[in-house]
Chains A and B, each alone.
Chain A
Amino acid sequence: MKALVRADLRNRWRSLAALAVGCFVLLIVLSGTYSAYGGAAGFSSAFNGKTPRLFSAFSGSASGDVFSPAHFLAFGFGHPLFLVLSLSVAITSGVAAIATEVETGRSELLFTAPVRPTQILDARVLEWALAQAAVIGGALVGALIGTQLSSDLSAISLAVPVRASLQFCSVAFFVAGVAFAASAQARTRGAAFAATVGVVAGSYVINLVGLLWSPLSFVRWINPFGYYSPTQAAEHLQWGNAAVLVVAGVGLFGWARHAVSRRDLA
């Protein structure tokens, strides 16, 4: 199966490299923005000493401070653009794993080999994990370089972006689980893509509404983004939240394996 992983990564390396570079540049730009605003003091005076609730919501908390150096840097790992760039790896890898193969007809060359469909799926999960690590790695390197280039962020411990990126891995794992499960079930890549994006985007919006409007705050606990706050991860890793997402993700991957071993593959 190593041959399949290698071939898939070689086939996709341009798009993966673009996503990794995108995340790298985004984190450097965010670090630069912090200095350009004049650091914590500059942001504080610009927003009358209080973090706007919308900014806090984007960072994954109802009223958290986003303007302290460590929180601002960690906020980069919850920025909507970062989520789009990095989660598109999980979504495209998952959708491509089965649904795209079936729709394009590539499955007829692949699945007629003397291998179990679950072995192909497992290879695709490994491929996603490597691709996801490369893209998150790009963001992490961007954050680490950004802190060194920005005088206002240079005092931050290197552990802050490392913790934020590790915490993000649990979200990526869950989203990949959704994408692989949808792909294992769907006949077309359009259906798998729509289902995955629907779940992910819907969950994100619902979580945001729950953070902004307290009567709906309970919805945070029934969607994946409620279990992810990079600014809280900057302080210390949220093991409980990560465990919830990982367990849910394992369930989705298990469902995908079950579905792919029973479905028609052409």
Chain B
Amino acid sequence: MPATSETNGAAPIDVRNVTKRYGDLVAVKDLTFSLEPGTITGFLGPNGSGKSTTLRMVGGLLRPTAGEVKLFGITARDPQARRSLGYMPADPAFLPHLSGLDNLDLLARLRGGADEAMRRTAADALDLSGHDLDRRVGGYSSGMRQKLAILAAVQHRPALVVLDEPANRLDPIAHRSFCELIRGMATDRHTVFLSSHVLAEVEAVCDSVLLVREGALLKAATVAQLREHAPRVVTLTRTDGTTVVQHVPAERPGVLRDLLADPAVADLTVVPASLEDVVLALYTEQAAS
């Protein structure tokens, strides 16, 4: 359970009308959202849509050009706000001549010390052995560095964990363990905010998603809401052996009744569209508009 005295009941992340400009380039455009405690939120968007920039503002690394980012009610640039933050960058870099354990110890000390039980649990889940952690980070593979960065982000049991593309470079086994670890943290009322391109991962672990495009918020919804409104993929097999695949909008269940009324239908399967289909459809709609 994260330390509630540090979280003071305010939203773990509260982003209000945030814009970030680099000269003429607008990386993030008037973005507003907030997260509920104990939820896992996926942050989705194409490359260059401002995901990492937003996460860096949440981590207090970047100053918004306009608007405000608060963690637990305190502006993210204030060190006090980051007392309950665990942060994993998209491309983690460590002191290469030190061991993994020495790097973890250093980062833990800067954050007030590691929670040994949490560190052990996370290391076991990510399959990082004592032998691995005793090796110099300079000799790590990119996947090992990724695991170490995830471990560094959670080892002090922060109330808020921000992960930028955590699934990158993880093998399927490590990825499954990572998803279980994250789900377990949310069960313990930790809030997790993760950006990802792997929509299957988001579908598997997230409660809600924020979709961004060109720096602006496109949609905020729970995964259940997205699924509810997702079109169904209907495969019809007729008596003459031909098959037809149709995407039936969720809001029009009458279409299914009409299809079933057709005497030539020999078989019919209905599968909800995947999150990937939903997200792609949203982006396509937005691009068309």
Structural contact, B61 and A108, CB atoms closer than 8 A: yes
Over the window 164-196 of chain A, the binary record of Cβ atoms lying under 8 Å from chain B Cβ atoms (1 yes, 0 no) is: 000000000000000000000000000000000
Partner of B61, one of A7, A104, A111: A111
Q: Is residue B106 within 8 Å, beta carbon to beta carbon, of the partner chain? A: yes
Interface stretch, picked from B95-103, B230-238, B252-260, B278-286, is B95-103
User: How many angstroms from the CA of A7 to the CA of B110 in the assembled complex?
Assistant: 12
A7-B106, A10-B97 given; A105·B89 CB < 8 A: yes
User: How many angstroms from the CA of A88 to the CA of B11 in the assembled complex?
Assistant: 47
Q: Is residue A110 within 8 Å, beta carbon to beta carbon, of the partner chain? A: yes
A111-B60, A266-B61 given; A3·B87 CB < 8 A: no
Interface stretch, picked from B76-84, B207-215, B221-229, is B76-84
User: Which residue of chain A has its CB nearest to the CB of B81?
Assistant: A114
User: Which residue of chain B has its CB nearest to the CB of A10?
Assistant: B98
User: How many angstroms from the CA of A11 to the CA of B110 in the assembled complex?
Assistant: 17
Note all chain A residues with C-beta closer than 8 A to B112. Answer: 114
Structural contact, A105 and B59, CB atoms closer than 8 A: no
A112-B85, A265-B62 given; A106·B93 CB < 8 A: yes
Structural contact, A112 and B109, CB atoms closer than 8 A: no
Q: Is residue B134 within 8 Å, beta carbon to beta carbon, of the partner chain? A: no
Contact residues, B126-154 vs A (CB, 8 A):
149, 152
Structural contact, A108 and B92, CB atoms closer than 8 A: yes
Q: Is residue B201 within 8 Å, beta carbon to beta carbon, of the partner chain? A: no
Structural contact, B87 and A108, CB atoms closer than 8 A: yes
User: How many angstroms from the CA of A108 to the CA of B112 in the assembled complex?
Assistant: 17
Structural contact, A112 and B80, CB atoms closer than 8 A: no
- Most chain A CB within 10 A, of B81, B95, B96, B152, is at B95
User: Which residue of chain B has its CB nearest to the CB of A1?
Assistant: B110
User: How many angstroms from the CA of A162 to the CA of B231 in the assembled complex?
Assistant: 82
User: How many angstroms from the CA of A265 to the CA of B83 in the assembled complex?
Assistant: 18
Structural contact, B109 and A3, CB atoms closer than 8 A: yes
Over the window 227-266 of chain A, the binary record of Cβ atoms lying under 8 Å from chain B Cβ atoms (1 yes, 0 no) is: 0000000000000000000000000000000000010111
Structural contact, B107 and A109, CB atoms closer than 8 A: yes
Interface residues of B (CB under 8 A from A): 56, 59-63, 79-83, 85, 87, 89, 91-98, 102-103, 105-107, 109-112, 149, 152
Q: 6 new A-B pairs (CB below 8 Å) besides A108-B56, A113-B107, A264-B61?
A: A3-B105, A3-B110, A10-B102, A110-B107, A114-B82, A114-B85
List 10 A–B pairs whose Cβ atoms lie within 8 Å, in order of A's numbering: A10-B97, A105-B89, A108-B56, A108-B61, A109-B149, A109-B152, A112-B82, A113-B111, A265-B62, A266-B59
List 7 A-B pairs, minimum CB-CB distance, nearest first: A108-B89, A113-B110, A112-B87, A266-B61, A3-B109, A112-B59, A114-B82
